[in-house]
Amino acid sequence: MREKLTFNEINKSPCLTWNWLKMNRASLEVEADAEAEGGKREIKATKKGETVRIPLAFDDGKRYEHEQVVTAEENSEITVIIDYTSDAGAGGFSSVKTRLVAKPYSKIHLVKVNMLGQGFVQIDDTDGECADNAEISVTQIELGGAKTYAQVKNELKGFASSFKSSTAYITAGTQLLDMNYVVNHTGHKTDTKMVVKGTVSGAAQKTYRGTIDFKRGCAEATGDEQEETLLLSPAAVNKSIPMILCDEENVSGTHGATLGKIGAEELFYFQSRGISAETAEKILSCAKVMSVASEIPDEELRSRIGAFIGADEESGR
């Protein structure tokens, strides 16, 4: 039995822009199984050096709901690796929620890798909170699926707490990728660094909302967000809103978004070595992804990412 699911407030921006841009939020209607498979996991770190791997393999035509709560106790460190996979032609619906709680002087490194089949629709929410001197870092790679809505939100409440994210993506064909990153600074001397890079080709659509919000009381806080997009098709659609909101005077925030095509000099370099423009585009796309994948402490997963995007083939191995 199947039912229609409607979502009207996906990846809502914390500060509304002009409505005619149609970037303040996303909406989705999808048909899915009435019954969902999945479950809830609670993961607790009590020491340093812990690694937890959560492979999520999805079957064609099914609906999944997964939830993880990761708590790093004081002075502990943990890496949690979640990778989503299915057969190449598979489709279905997935909703994944991940809650991160970093207690004083702890560190959480969350890795999420999407290598789903061509028909999957996924909503992926990550919500974090940092206490004094705690650190959360997120490495996210978006490659598969028909439509992906990925949100990462973090609350920097503690003194000198920090958040870092590194995101890479390839959107091609008719894929849709919608991302929303929000970091709220309330603690003194907090810090954020966000980097997003990827390519958009074919008739794909990509939206990125990135917000650093300096709340009153977060004196001496710092933040930086940078986005790099390589546009490989005139039919592709790229939308970006990098934002810094500020209600505190003594802070420092920077942001930037770069959108471009392969330059004439770069193209000449490749062609002078017998590399076609199409192959050059793929090499550059793979390079962006693998530069972020290098942060994943799992060689087998890095190899699977390379195989999924054809990085090994383009490097001549």
Could you tell me the residue ranges of all domains in the chain?
Answer: 2-265
CA distance 61 to 102: 36
- Spatial separation of the C-alpha atoms in residues 137 and 226, rounded to whole Å: 16
State how far the Cα of 237 lies from the Cα of 206, in Å rounded to an integer: 6
**β strands within the chain, DSSP E:** 2-10, 26-33, 37-45, 50-57, 63-72, 77-85, 91-102, 107-115, 119-130, 135-142, 147-156, 162-171, 176-185, 191-200, 205-214, 222-231, 237-246, 252-260
Hey, what are 1's tokens? 């039995």
Contacts of residue 124, Cβ cutoff 8 Å, sequence gap at least 6 = 94, 95, 96, 98, 112, 114, 148, 149, 150, 151
Contact 113, 297 (CB under 8 A): no
Distance, CA of 290 to CA of 141 (rounded, Å): 9
Per-residue pLDDT tens digits for 178-219: 999 999 999 999 999 999 999 999 999 999 999 999 999 999
Take residue 196 and report the two structure tokens written for it: 């997003």
What's the start-to-end Cα distance of the chain, in Å?
Answer: 46
* pLDDT (tens place) for every residue of the chain, 317 residues total: 889 999 999 999 998 887 777 889 999 999 999 999 999 999 999 999 999 999 999 999 999 999 999 999 999 999 999 999 999 999 999 999 999 999 999 999 999 999 999 999 999 999 999 999 999 999 999 999 999 999 999 999 999 999 999 999 999 999 999 999 999 999 999 999 999 999 999 999 999 999 999 999 999 999 999 999 999 999 999 999 999 999 999 999 998 888 777 766 777 667 777 878 788 888 889 999 999 999 999 999 999 999 999 975 554 43
Residues near 256 by beta carbon (within 8 Å), at least 6 away in sequence: 225, 226, 227, 242
CA 168 to chain centre: 7
Tens digits of residue pLDDT in 298-314: 999 999 999 999 975 55
